[in-house]
Chain A
Amino acid sequence: MERTDNLAHLYQAHASALLRLAYVLTGDRHAAEDIAQEAFVRIGRRLIRFRDPEHTRAYLLRTVINLSRGRARRARVERAALARLHHPQTHELPDGGRDEIWAGLLRLPERQRAALFLRFYLDHSEATAAEVLGCSPSAMKSLVSRGLKTLRESVENDR
């Protein structure tokens, strides 16, 4: 009983952030909802309890990042298969493609996208964001820096 109540509490507290992160990583609203839901299923299944609520949040965010990476890989394999069948599939930008910053963001590698989301949307510190991404703070700094640089160049090229 306590577990399910806890799950409800977690869902209420983190669902939107997870959905938004998944949306930044996938660019697909429906896929993002499925990924966010799956993250809660996993934490509910494994009976995980964290002493620090921030660790729960970090675990959920990390799960969403991993699930999104898995989905992107499957998509790459599917695209390669289609290309081999001479049905090249263009990777269309999802809704929001009109915004040049958003379009540039969706072209960044997934880890850079996640790093920018954690730093500039969730306002995480470098150390916290690094913990979520499973890298060192200096690597985090580098991801953010490279992401911003590419984004700046992408916006300038679009003009």
Chain B
Amino acid sequence: MTDIERRLQQTFLEQLDRLEMPDRLASVRKRAQRRRLVSMTTIMALVVGALASATVLINTVDRPEITDEVAMPTTSSPESDGETKDKKEASECPDGIEGDGLERGEPRPPQPYFYPHNTWRMKVGRDCVTVIAGAKGRYDQENAREHGTYRRGALLLMDESGSFTTRDQLLFAPLPAPIRIVDVRGQGMESELVLQSLVDCSLASFRLLSQDFESTGGDYQCTADDASGHDQPTYVVADCFEPELRPQEIIFTCATADFRATELAWQGWNPMAASARGNFECYGTTCQWERTGTIALSKRGYCEDLGKYVFMEGRVVLDSKADGQRVFKVMPGCGLP
């Protein structure tokens, strides 16, 4: 044993042996019993809630398929349906690269994003929009077809399409921007979906033909409001006070600092969305767990106090359930005043 180890042991004995825990057993029993009762009440409430949800699901199972598929992409609050919706999404939206869709260091394709000579077809799923672009003009190299899946304004590239057999072909995909759904016009077979690139404001609309959308061109006018601020980066308030780009840690509950993300590895970060894999931990009075998972930040908003754009919301999806829940909505917002 080294000198420092011996001295440390001695210090531990001097400092700690005099400490004795007071008898708080009665209080421990009372509090444990109270929490057991709360847990049982919560479980009962969850069971009742699940039964009610199941009833609703049974009642809606016969709804027209096409109405459901068109309506979902415009939904702005993905957390409303919680985990059930997340499962649907996992089954219908392929995984991909979230971000600007470009390789590191790759030059951006020429704008406008919705190149007027391109022809587009798209399918609208419950939570995702799959765009199949039959590119012409300068993107007609090697007869490439571009496939992209857009989810909640963030861009995902599909890599399971037969059209993309090599990585080189992906480089021709004109996918430089986050996309937003500007409008859904009309109803049913007459529906028209308008998409807009948030990099250059170019727009494209798609008419519904059978279950596909087809482009009617990219000649819609761009307004100043659409483009304002999109050249400025979007931050996230990671430590409850200071806005940061690509932080390694984010505290979600500023009052207690119980729930936080650590070891974040960002896969994409653009003005409209950001996503990362990381470690999520919750150690507080109501939780005791640590899981890996992903976070997707969204809802860009301007904070007057900070003088910066920040992500107002985030969605954490754990790799496995914690306390019976896999999806969490977080609100980093503008932080504490």
Contact = CB atoms under 8 A, between A and B. Distances in A.
Interface string A139-156: 000000000100110010
A130 B11 CA distance: 23
Interface stretch (B15-23, B87-95, B114-122): B15-23
Given A40-B25, A99-B14, A102-B15, 15 more contacts: A4-B29, A7-B32, A16-B21, A32-B19, A33-B21, A44-B31, A45-B36, A47-B36, A66-B288, A69-B283, A77-B240, A99-B15, A117-B12, A121-B16, A148-B2
Contacts of A81: 240-241, 336
A30 to B, nearest CB: 11
B138 interface: no
A72 B19 CA distance: 21
Contacts of A86: none
A11 B256 contact: no
B19 A152 contact: no
Given A45-B36, A66-B288, A121 B21 contact: no
A109 interface: no
B99 to A, nearest CB: 30
B28 A80 contact: no
A37 interface: yes
A19 B257 contact: no
A96 B15 contact: yes
Contacts of B104: none
A45 B35 CA distance: 6
Contacts of A114: none
Contact of B240 (A37, A63, A80, A96): A80
Given A33-B24, A41-B31, A70-B283, A148 B5 contact: yes
Contacts, number: 115
6 contacts: A7-B25, A29-B19, A41-B28, A73-B258, A74-B257, A121-B9
Nearest to B336: A81
Interface of A: 4, 7-8, 11, 15-16, 18-20, 23-24, 29, 32-33, 36-38, 40-42, 44-45, 47, 63, 66-67, 69-70, 73-74, 76-77, 80-81, 84, 96, 99, 101-102, 105, 116-117, 120-121, 148, 151-152, 155
A7 B29 contact: yes
A7 B2 CA distance: 39
B8 A116 contact: yes
Contacts of B14: 99
B39 interface: yes
Interface of B: 2, 4-5, 7-16, 19-22, 24-25, 27-29, 31-33, 35-36, 39, 239-241, 251, 254, 256-258, 260, 283-285, 288, 336
B15 A66 contact: no
Given A20-B19, A36-B21, A44-B32, A99 B11 contact: yes
Contacts of B10: 101
Contact of A148 (B8, B11, B20, B33): B8
B22 A33 contact: yes
A104 to B, nearest CB: 9
A66 B336 CA distance: 25
Interface core residue of B2, B240, B260 (most chain A CB under 10 Å): B240
Contact of A70 (B4, B12, B25, B284): B284
Q: Which of B8, B14, B20 gathers most chain A CB within 10 Å?
A: B8
Top 9 A-B pairs ranked by shortest CB distance? Answer: A44-B32, A15-B21, A73-B257, A45-B35, A101-B11, A121-B12, A70-B283, A20-B16, A19-B21
B257 A44 contact: no
A23 B19 contact: yes
Nearest to B37: A45
Contact of A40 (B7, B28, B36): B28
A60 B41 CA distance: 26
